[in-house]
Amino acid sequence: DTEVTQTPKHLVMGMTNKKSLKCEQHMGHRAMYWYKQKAKKPPELMFVYSYEKLSINESVPSRFSPECPNSSLLNLHLHALQPEDSALYLCASSQGAEWIQYFGAGTRLSVL
Amino acid sequence: GDSVTQMEGPVTLSEEAFLTINCTYTATGYPSLFWYVQYPGEGLQLLLKATKADDKGSNKGFEATYRKETTSFHLEKGSVQVSDSAVYFCALKDTGGFKTIFGAGTRLFVKA
């Protein structure tokens, strides 16, 4: 099983809402990532968790709050987002020296 | 810092045409190099990789050779199909840390 599953696929939220994105993998990977991808752009790294500990935070605004409850799950909690936060949010995982990243299909987020 | 430069698109080809997408990189040390592909509405998936100089990665008829002397990793395919229409990202992973550096992406359209 080389699948990374992201839910929901689509999310529309207002600027005062609180919502969460979920990512799950069962490949035994110990590194998990959140990326933000705007239209016609490459993915931008937001956060990296290694062995359930936050290893990288790419100066992401505090309205994005990541959480890694266990080795298979990664959440991204959203609060008081801005319209410019509308994007495709991708989760990925990797393991070992080859550093191949396995991506989910993403959550397409619209902030109104 | 490390960076990846790839040719701007979009690239439009007829079915069965030869494809080249140029990619050059700047990095210290000996990075691993990757091509990822993103089909419409999906996340990225690994197309091929190479981990050391002169390695050739290949998959689904696509090939790329790690050329250290020219710091390049050009993607080629002898005969493209309509189903190859997608965005292609060249990427590198340096020898330390968790970051993968992505190029800007090249959109390929293949006409029947």
Q: Are B104 and A42 a contacting pair at CB < 8 A?
A: yes
Whether residue A10 lies within 8 A of chain B, CB to CB, comes out as: no
Whether residue A66 lies within 8 A of chain B, CB to CB, comes out as: no
Average pLDDT, integer, range A73-85 = 96
Average pLDDT, integer, range B51-63 = 95
Q: What pLDDT sits at residue B108?
A: 97
Indicate if the pLDDT at residue B97 is higher than 90: no
The alpha carbon of residue A106 is apart from the nearest alpha carbon of chain B, in Å, by 6
Mean pLDDT check: name the lowest of A1-5, A17-21, A73-77, B95-99. B95-99
Between A15 and B14, whose confidence is greater? Answer: B14
Indicate if the pLDDT at residue A1 is higher than 70: no
A55 interaction partners in chain B (CB closer than 8 Å): 98
How large a percentage of chain B has pLDDT more than 70? 100
Average pLDDT, integer, range B8-34 = 94
Whether residue A43 lies within 8 A of chain B, CB to CB, comes out as: yes
Residue A83: phi and psi, rounded to 5, are: -55, -30
CB A18 within 8 A of CB A79: yes
Count Cβ atoms within 10 A of the Cβ of residue B100 and give its class: 0-12 exposed, 13-18 middle, 19 or more buried.
buried
A31 interaction partners in chain B (CB closer than 8 Å): 98
Tell which B residues from 43 to 102 touch A, by Cβ distance under 8 Å: 43-46, 49, 51, 89, 93, 97-100, 102
- How many angstroms separate the first and last alpha carbons of chain A? 36
Average pLDDT, integer, range B43-62 = 95
A82-112 pLDDT, tens digit each? 999 999 999 999 987 777 999 999 999 999 9
The letter for the amino acid at B87 is V
The partner residue sitting opposite B42, judged by closest CB among A41, A56, A105, is: A105
